[in-house]
Chains A and B, each alone.
Chain A
Amino acid sequence: MKYLVRSQGFGATIGVIAMLAVFTVIDFSGWWTIQTLSNVTQFTAILALVALGQALVIMTKEIDLSVGSIYGLTGVAFITLEPSLGVPGSLVVALLIAAAAGFIQGTAVVKGELPSMIVTLGGLFAARGIIYVWTGGSVHNFSPDARTHALTRLLGGELFGVEAALYWVGIVSVLLAIMLWGTRFGNRLLATGGSRESAESRGVRTDHVKTTAFVLCSLLAGFAGILTLCNQPQTHVTLGENMELEAISAAVIGGCLLTGGRGSILGVILGALIVVSFRYQLIALGAPSSWYITFVGAVLIVAVIFNQKLARFLGHSV
Chain B
Amino acid sequence: MTQNPLIQVKNLDLYFGAFHALKNVSVDFNAGELIGLVGDNGAGKTTLIRVLCGIHAPTKGDVFFDGKKVEKFHPKLAIDQGIETIQQSVGLCDNLSIARNFYLGREPVKRILGIPFLDFAKMREKSSRVIRQFGLRENVSADDEVERLSGGERQSVKIGRAVEFKNRVVIMDEPTNHLSVREREHVNELAVQLKEQGLLVIYITHDIFQVHKLADRIVIMENGEKVADASTDSMSAEALEDVIRQGGRVVEKEAV
A203 touching B105 in the complex, CB below 8 Å, given contacts A183-B116, A315-B147: yes
Partner of A194, one of B80, B96, B118: B96
Residue ID in chain B nearest A204 by CB atoms: B105
Does A199 make an interface contact (CB < 8 A)?
yes
Kindly provide the distance from the CB of A104 to the nearest chain B CB, expressed in whole angstroms.
23
Does B79 make an interface contact (CB < 8 A)?
yes
Interface size on B, residues (CB 8 A): 30
The CB with the most chain B CB atoms within 10 A, among A195, A205, A260, is that of: A195
Does A201 make an interface contact (CB < 8 A)?
yes
A195 touches B104 (CB 8 A): no
Could you say which residues of chain A place their CB within 8 Å of the CB of B140?
Answer: none
B109 touches A184 (CB 8 A): yes
Does B252 make an interface contact (CB < 8 A)?
no
Kindly provide the distance from the CB of A47 to the nearest chain B CB, expressed in whole angstroms.
26
Could you say which residues of chain B place their CB within 8 Å of the CB of A182?
Answer: 117-118
**B104-127 interface mask toward A, CB cutoff 8 Å, 1 = contact, 0 = none?**
111101000000111000000000
B residues with a Cβ closer than 8 A to A are 53, 55, 75-76, 78-80, 85, 87, 90-96, 100-101, 103-107, 109, 116-118, 145, 147-148
Kindly provide the distance from the CB of B135 to the nearest chain A CB, expressed in whole angstroms.
21
A202 touching B55 in the complex, CB below 8 Å, given contacts A183-B117, A184-B107, A316-B147: no
B55 touches A261 (CB 8 A): no
A202 touches B117 (CB 8 A): no
A201 touches B85 (CB 8 A): yes
Instruction: Give Cα A198–Cα B75 distance, bound, in whole angstroms.
Output: 10
Known pairs A182-B117, A191-B100, A261-B93. 7 more at Cβ < 8 A? Answer: A184-B107, A198-B93, A201-B91, A203-B75, A203-B76, A262-B95, A316-B145
Kindly provide the distance from the CB of B70 to the nearest chain A CB, expressed in whole angstroms.
15
Residue ID in chain A nearest B100 by CB atoms: A187
B96 touches A187 (CB 8 A): yes
Instruction: Give Cα A188–Cα B109 distance, bound, in whole angstroms.
Output: 14
The CB with the most chain B CB atoms within 10 A, among A187, A190, A195, is that of: A187
Instruction: Give Cα A222–Cα B55 distance, bound, in whole angstroms.
Output: 37
**A190-215 interface mask toward B, CB cutoff 8 Å, 1 = contact, 0 = none?**
11011101111111110000000000
Could you say which residues of chain B place their CB within 8 Å of the CB of A202?
Answer: 75, 79, 91, 104-105
Residue ID in chain A nearest B87 by CB atoms: A201
